[in-house]
Structure 1
């Protein structure tokens, strides 16, 4: 079989070998149309391209910016996995990641990083609770961007989310099937759109059961803990409110927590108050952090495909760069219940 070389490609297209070399090296001096034609021909002829030089044909810089609230930078349990998925997928396409933490308390004129101000990236992936004015700024700049697990609900923007509704439905149904008649949703719904979707799944599972069940399931909401652009928070009143509900008459015996960090904090508070888990209270979290396997007892939770969310975001932004006028996509990735020891049948 004849070896395919740069000269082979050049002769096939009737262009110079130097032009082929520049195009395959993603040289910005080569226009996008020519570059794409050369790349397509190289692939069709079977030319093996070194991964270090492989780049998306429409790329200008070979960089993609990733923006996230600065308060998330230490959250390797969740956002670190998303970033890992982004980095792995970018490397397949010859892109570099320019990661910037955003101070969400200051306006975008001051807080937007140089990668955006100086057009050092081909597109942007936005993670988490970025304020609306940053989104508006990106739109004004006509910068291609996608969202990952944010509070922004804009049908004109590509967005990647876990299926929070179905995950919460499965988790709540698990508590009901275990015989728990008095349930609580733990977490401040207004603090995250994902929490609101999890509450919706929680309520739908209870509603579905109550429509046909021999006995009703009752619910309460326990507030005072949630997430923000600065990370997780817990109010001073949360502990008292929580313990009050599990010691009520009748007591709440099944707790669905809006994320794993809330569930772990809940376990800790109840243990300090002498309330046994799962002997007195069953607890389910959401996210499947590594910490959920280290608690005593190990935490039943809902697995979120964090790495896959990052990879999918890269696929969407590359598609958006290549087709700026394409139809926006909302991608929901499946979640799965992970059964451990924090839920006990009554």
Structure 2
């Protein structure tokens, strides 16, 4: 295997000159640069990543932490981050944390030892004090970690309001909500959006809100409890599509017709809701754009640390499909 010294010898230049060409760092006249590039090509030389990172202080690696890679929302985010990272010459590392704080810390420590350039976190378990002394850029995505940390999210509260107001507009009189875990900021905001719309209704009790775990099974269990405690519920807003699919399954088991007797709305606009029968009405968030923007902001912080980056909040929109009744004329 060829070394940088072999390249320098063939091009008749110093090792330092070869390093400047490889890392695009410092001035090298055009003729010398061409000689070095021809020698690299002739020898099929591949620069050592560790040596390169020692030279320029960067590994050209970024990592994305997600809580559950089996949830179809996160692979869509990951694809966008990976595409953007690759287009900018960065290696992408995906870490599935299982909502486990110790696993997050273990990944952090291991990657910092490998001179990682930055992190994107989707996390509800990492604590702000656990990352405040990390000396590489961090971007929070989908969920906020602390007000001081740059984040890329959507207007979850407004999306929830859109969902519940639409259920009211099609004639639903008693609307239940299946929220996500309390420690997830997006879940709290979606619950608040639901309450913004129904908080003055005389029928509202704590029985109209059940907690799920963002899975189909969690949605099914929560929906069974909702519908058995409150058989007059005629609309359910679930905090993500997987739980909304669980609602459809619960309705089927209970002999409740969707949408004739029960209208159902999810959140995310992921693939599972597009293949159910009926297809799922949902709140669309621009998943790919979120991932792409988070990667852009992270790389911007890496390459221009003093650029004054601000958090981003995307708008969401209602996508109407077959799980809700038609609008009343």
* Aligned mates of 2:235, 2:304 — CA distance in 1: 48
Q: In structure 1, what is the equivalent of residue 78 of structure 2?
A: 83
Q: In structure 2, what is the equivalent of residue 47 of structure 1?
A: none
Q: In structure 2, what is the equivalent of residue 197 of structure 1?
A: 189
> Among 88, 99, 102, which residue is 2:97 paired with?
102
Q: In structure 1, what is the equivalent of residue 164 of structure 2?
A: 172
Is 1:242 matched with 2:226? yes
- The structural deviation recorded for 1:233 is 6.3
Aligned pairs (5 A) from 1:76-225: 77-102=72-97, 104=100, 106=102, 110-112=106-108, 114-116=110-112, 118-132=113-127, 135-152=128-145, 154-188=146-180, 190-206=182-198, 218-220=203-205, 221-225=208-212
Question: If each structure's helix is expressed as a fraction of its own residues, which one has the higher value?
Answer: 2
- Structure 1 gaps of 5+ residues are 1-15, 39-52, 211-215
> Among 70, 84, 87, which residue is 1:74 paired with?
70
Query: Residues 34-66 of structure 1, C-alpha deviation per residue, up to 9 Å, x if partnerless?
Result: 48x99xxxxxxxxxxxxxx9xxxx871111122
* Aligned mates of 1:321, 1:269 — CA distance in 2: 47
* Aligned mates of 2:229, 2:314 — CA distance in 1: 34
User: Contact conserved, 1:225 with 1:232, CA < 8 A, in 2?
Assistant: no
- The structural deviation recorded for 1:74 is 2.4
Q: In structure 1, what is the equivalent of residue 319 of structure 2?
A: 338
> Among 311, 315, 333, which residue is 2:292 paired with?
311
Task: Find the residue that maps to 2:252 and give its secondary structure.
Answer: helix
Task: Find the residue that maps to 2:267 and give its secondary structure.
Answer: coil
Extract structure 1 runs of 4+ deviating beyond 6 A: 16-21
Specify whether residues 128 and 17 from structure 1 end up closer, same or farther in structure 2 by C-alpha distance, changes over 3 A only.
Answer: same
* Aligned mates of 1:108, 1:195 — CA distance in 2: 21
Count of residue correspondences: 292
User: How big is the alpha-carbon RMSD for the aligned residues of Structure 1 and Structure 2?
Assistant: 3.5
User: Contact conserved, 1:304 with 1:336, CA < 8 A, in 2?
Assistant: yes
* Aligned mates of 1:322, 1:90 — CA distance in 2: 13
Specify whether residues 233 and 279 from structure 1 end up closer, same or farther in structure 2 by C-alpha distance, changes over 3 A only.
Answer: closer
- Structure 2 gaps of 5+ residues are 1-12, 30-46, 48-55
- The structural deviation recorded for 1:184 is 1.3
User: Contact conserved, 1:282 with 1:344, CA < 8 A, in 2?
Assistant: yes
Query: Residues 78-128 of structure 1, C-alpha deviation per residue, up to 9 Å, x if partnerless?
Result: 100001100111122111102223361536664535222x14321111123
Task: Find the residue that maps to 1:226 and give its secondary structure.
Answer: coil
- TM-score of the superposition, structure 1-length normalised? 0.73
Is 1:298 matched with 2:279? yes
- TM-score of the superposition, structure 2-length normalised? 0.76
Q: In structure 2, what is the equivalent of residue 42 of structure 1?
A: none
Specify whether residues 20 and 291 from structure 1 end up closer, same or farther in structure 2 by C-alpha distance, changes over 3 A only.
Answer: farther
Specify whether residues 146 and 241 from structure 1 end up closer, same or farther in structure 2 by C-alpha distance, changes over 3 A only.
Answer: same
Aligned pairs (5 A) from 1:209-288: 218-220=203-205, 221-227=208-214, 234=218, 238-247=222-231, 251-288=232-269
* Aligned mates of 2:305, 2:96 — CA distance in 1: 26
With CA pairs under 8 Å and 6+ residues apart, which has the higher RCO, 1 or 2? Answer: 1
